Amino acid sequence: MAGNHLHDLAALIETLEAKGRLARVRSEVDPRHELAGVAAKQEGGPRAVLFEKVKGKRWPVLAGLYWNRSLIADLLGKEERGLPQFVANCIARWQRDPVDPAVIKTGPVLEVTEPDVDLGKIPVPVHALEDDGPSFDAAVVIAKDPESGIRNASIQRFQAVNRNTLHVNVGAKPHLEVSLEKAKRMGRSLWITLNCGVGPGLHFAAWAPAEAAPTGRDELGIASEFHGAALELVPGTESDVEMVAHAMWALECELIPGELAPAGPLAEVPGFYGKVEPRPVAHVRRIHRRHAPVFQTILSGAEVWNSVGLLGEANVLALLQRQVPGARDVHFSHGSAGFFHAIVQIAQQRAGWSKRAILAAFAAFPPLKMVTVVDDDIDIRNAQDVEWAMATRLDPASGIVTIDNAFGHGLNPSFPNAVGPKLGFDATRPFPKRAEYGRVAFRAVALEAYEIAQAEPKPAGSAAADRAAPQLTETGTAPAAAASSDYDTDRVWQRELADWKEGRGAPDGGVFAPARPAAAGDWDENRWWKRELAEMKRERENGVAPAAKKAAPVKAAPPPPPAPRPAESATRHSGSKDWDENRWWKRELEEMKREREGRKGPAGASPPPARAPALTRPPPARSADTAPEARRIDVRADRASADEDDGGFFHGGAI
C-alpha cells in the first residue's frame, strides 16, 4: 500500500491543481537562468509553479513546493502554526515504533530504463548567475553504511559536469561523507541512488537533523509516518542500494573513494556562493524514469528555509518540551537564512529556565548561531513583537549568553571550518513577574460579529473618481490632501462664493451666469478662488460689475475708499506655521457676506493691494446625475486672532 498523496509527486501536482495552489508557466523558458529568474519572482507566493515548456528539454519542471508555509500546511492538512508540533510528533512516533520501508518488485520509476546514460536529457536548470553549471538540488540520496548496511537518506548538491558525471557537494561530516570514508577503509566503492521528484515525506526524512535521526537508524522510516503507510522501494539494478518506487527519476551512481574534482561555485542557502573546492565524483551508471516524469528543483532561499527550517523547529521544540517545562513554540526566522536564528516562546515557571532554553536549543540544532527566548505574550513570528521584547525586557548585563568556538554550519561564513561563536538573548520578563513589565491589552472581539461599512473605490473615469484625483499645481506637484472625511474645504468656499455671486446682481438686474472652468493641466482650484476674490474686490472698489466695464460707461467720480480692514485679514501669513490658505479665503468671503447683508466690516486696516486684471478660469463643471452636491458644513469663524490654535483642523486634523 502506497499511502496518501504525499508519497507521489504526480498525485501532489493534482492536489495542488484542485486546491488552486498551482501556477502553470506555458511560455517557453530557458533552463539556464531564465527558469530560476521567473521562479524567483514568485518565491514565497501561495502557489507552486510548473514550467510546461523548457527550452531544449522534453519534460516539465516544478518549483516552489516548499516556499510558502501555508502551502505546506494545506498539503499536509494541518494548521500552519501547528506544523512544527506535527512534524515533531511524526518523528517521535518513528523513534518509538518505526515502520520499515517495503521493498517491492517494481514501481513507476522503472517504467523506462534509458539505453544509455545522458544527463543532458534531464531538464536540470542553472539557477544563479554565477553558478558553474546545472545541479540536482531536490534529489534524495539513498546510501547504505558499508559496515552495517543500514540505509541513510540525505540531500546534497550534485553538479552535472558532463553526460555521465556529477560532482557532489558534501558538507562537513554528514552521514554520506562518513559512509564514503568507511568505504575507503574497506577498499570498495560506495553505491548510491539519486531519487528525483519525490514527496514531502521523503524530503522530511532526508532533512531530519542527526540529533533526531542518529546513525544506526533507517531514516527512510520517517517518510512512512508522513505517508500513512510504509515507504515503497524497488531493488537497484547495479547494486544492492534500493530506489524510491514512486520517484520520477532514479540514478544509480558509483562513488570511488579518493576521487575528487573541483566543483562550484553554486548558490547556497545563506545567500552566498559556495567555494570552489575538491569534491567527490559520482559516476552515473544507469538512469530510470517514468513515462511522463516531472523534474523538481528547489531555489536556495525560502524553500529551504521552510523545509529544513521546519525540521529544525520540530527538533528544537521536541527537546525543549522534554527539558524546559513551559516551552510553547519555536520559530526559525527567515532573516537568518532559515535556520541560523531560533526564537523560542516559553511560559516561565522558574527563574533561570529561559537560559536553560537557550542552551537546549543550541544542543537540539547545532547549525543555530543565535537563540532568542521570549515570554508567551510575544508573537514569535512577528519580528516587531520580538524586537519589542528585546528592547524592553532584555538586560544586557545578565541576559546575553555567548559561546565561543562552537560547532555550527559550514555554509555560514562566520563559521570557518564549521566552528564559530554563538549568541543567546534572554528577552523574558524577570521572574517572578513584576507589574511594570505587563503589556497593554484590549478586549478580544470577533470582527465577524460587527456590521462594518467600508468606502468602495470609485470606478476609473467616473465623475467622483475624477474629482478625487489630485490636480497639479503650477510647480507640477499635487496639492496637499484634505482631512480624512467626505468634507472638502474647497467645495465649501466654492458654494459660499456662488451664493454671494447670485445675490450681488448683474448690470441688467439679473444674476451672473455660473462660470465653468477651462480644461488645462496647470489649473489649480485655490488659484481660481483667489482670482474670483480679486475680481470681486475690484468691483466693490469701483462700484461696477465686469460686464459694465466692458460697455465703457461714462467715468463717474470715484467713490470714497472703503473702511480699511485689519491687516491680519489681508496679510497672507505664508511664513506662519499655522497659516492655511483656505483659512484666509474663508475670512475674505465672510467679510464680503457681511457687506452684502448690510453689516459693516472691521475697520482699522487697508484692504490687500488690488491685482492687475487677469483672465480667470471658471469652477469645475458638475453633473447633477453623476456628482452629488457637497454637504454644507458650517465652519466656526469667531476666533479672536488668526494665530489662535485651530486644533489642526486645516492641517489634516479630524473634523
Query: Does pLDDT of 502 surpass 70?
Result: no
Q: Secondary structure of the chain: what % helix, strand, coil (to 5)?
A: 30, 20, 50
More confident: 478 or 444? 444
What SS3 class is residue 200?
helix
491 and 406 in a single domain? The answer is no
Query: Does pLDDT of 626 surpass 50?
Result: no
| C-alpha span between 245 and 234 (Å, rounded) | 5
pLDDT reported for residue 522 = 45
Q: Report yes or no on 511 lying in a domain.
A: no
More confident: 86 or 641? 86
Give the other-Cβ count within 10 Å of 404's Cβ: 8
Please tell me the total count of domains within the chain: 3
DSSP state of 167: E
CATH number at residue 77: 2.30.110.10
386 and 427 in a single domain? The answer is yes
Instruction: Report which residue type is found at 470.
Output: P
636 and 568 in a single domain? The answer is yes
Largest CA distance in the chain: 124
**Cβ burial, residue 177 (10 Å; 0-12/13-18/19+):** middle
143 and 236 in a single domain? The answer is yes
Which residues, at least 6 apart from 621, have a Cβ–Cβ distance to it below 8 Å? 516, 517
C-alpha cell recorded at residue 336: 537568518
Q: Report yes or no on 206 lying in a domain.
A: yes
| C-alpha span between 268 and 275 (Å, rounded) | 10
Q: pLDDT band at residue 224, thresholds of 50, 70 and 90?
A: very high
Positive/negative CA dihedral, 618, 624, 628, 630: positive
Per-residue pLDDT tens over the stretch 444-462: 999 999 999 888 887 776 6
| C-alpha span between 553 and 551 (Å, rounded) | 6
| C-alpha span between 291 and 586 (Å, rounded) | 80
270 and 140 in a single domain? The answer is yes
| C-alpha span between 655 and 484 (Å, rounded) | 9
Helix (H) or strand (E) holding 192: strand 190-196
Closest CA to 22 of 30, 31, 10, 32: 10
Q: Report yes or no on 542 lying in a domain.
A: no
Q: Report yes or no on 312 lying in a domain.
A: no
Q: Report yes or no on 454 lying in a domain.
A: no
Q: Report yes or no on 307 lying in a domain.
A: no
CATH number at residue 349: 3.40.1670.10
Strand ranges in 408-552 using DSSP code E only, listed in sequence order = 419-426
Total residue count of the chain as it appears in this document = 655
Final residue in a domain of this structure, among 437, 454, 471: 437
| C-alpha span between 263 and 260 (Å, rounded) | 9
For cell 480624512, name the residue: 484
| C-alpha span between 531 and 547 (Å, rounded) | 16
| C-alpha span between 651 and 655 (Å, rounded) | 11
| C-alpha span between 249 and 138 (Å, rounded) | 12
Write the Ramachandran bin of 338: left for phi over 0, alpha for psi from -120 to 50, otherwise beta.
Answer: left
> What phi and psi, each to the nearest 5 degrees, are found at residue 437?
-100, 5
Per-residue pLDDT tens over the stretch 65-79: 999 999 999 999 999
Instruction: Report which residue type is found at 594.
Output: R
Give residue 295's domain range: 5-302
Q: In this structure, are residues 285 and 252 in contact, taking their beta carbons and an 8 Å threshold? A: yes
Final residue in a domain of this structure, among 419, 437, 455: 437
Q: Report yes or no on 472 lying in a domain.
A: no
| C-alpha span between 396 and 379 (Å, rounded) | 22
Closest CA to 246 of 212, 197, 310: 197
| C-alpha span between 559 and 557 (Å, rounded) | 6
Q: In this structure, are residues 62 and 39 in contact, taking their beta carbons and an 8 Å threshold? A: no
| C-alpha span between 158 and 448 (Å, rounded) | 52
pLDDT reported for residue 232 = 96
b/e map of 595-611 (b: 16 or more CB within 10 Å)? eeeeeebeeeeebbeee
357 and 248 in a single domain? The answer is no
User: Which of 81-90, 255-264, 503-512, 531-540 bottoms out in mean pLDDT, i.e. has the lowest?
Assistant: 503-512
C-alpha cell recorded at residue 600: 459693516
65 and 154 in a single domain? The answer is yes
| C-alpha span between 4 and 225 (Å, rounded) | 11
C-alpha cell recorded at residue 396: 544586557
Instruction: Report which residue type is found at 593.
Output: K
39 and 140 in a single domain? The answer is yes
**Cβ burial, residue 135 (10 Å; 0-12/13-18/19+):** buried
Q: Report yes or no on 450 lying in a domain.
A: no
Angle 519-550-610 (CA atoms, 0-180°, nearest 5)?
A: 75
Final residue in a domain of this structure, among 302, 336, 361: 302
C-alpha cell recorded at residue 295: 523534474
Closest CA to 593 of 498, 510, 488: 498
Cα Rg for the chain, rounded, in angstroms?
Answer: 38
Per-residue pLDDT tens over the stretch 37-58: 999 999 999 999 999 999 999 9
95 and 178 in a single domain? The answer is yes
Mean pLDDT score, 535-552 = 58
Q: What is the pTM of this model?
A: 0.68
28 and 132 in a single domain? The answer is yes
For cell 542500494, name the residue: 241
| C-alpha span between 205 and 250 (Å, rounded) | 17
Average pLDDT, the chain: 81
Per-residue pLDDT tens over the stretch 295-349: 999 998 889 888 888 999 999 999 999 999 999 999 999 888 888 999 999 999 9
275 and 329 in a single domain? The answer is no
282 and 336 in a single domain? The answer is no
C-alpha cell recorded at residue 461: 473615469
- Of the chain, the percentage scoring pLDDT greater than 70 comes to 73
Instruction: Report which residue type is found at 381.
Output: R
Query: Does pLDDT of 2 surpass 80?
Result: no
User: Which of 175-189, 339-353, 496-510 bottoms out in mean pLDDT, i.e. has the lowest?
Assistant: 496-510
Per-residue pLDDT tens over the stretch 361-409: 999 999 999 999 999 999 999 999 999 999 999 999 999 999 999 988 8
**Cβ burial, residue 431 (10 Å; 0-12/13-18/19+):** middle
Per-residue pLDDT tens over the stretch 124-161: 999 999 999 999 999 999 999 999 999 999 998 999 99
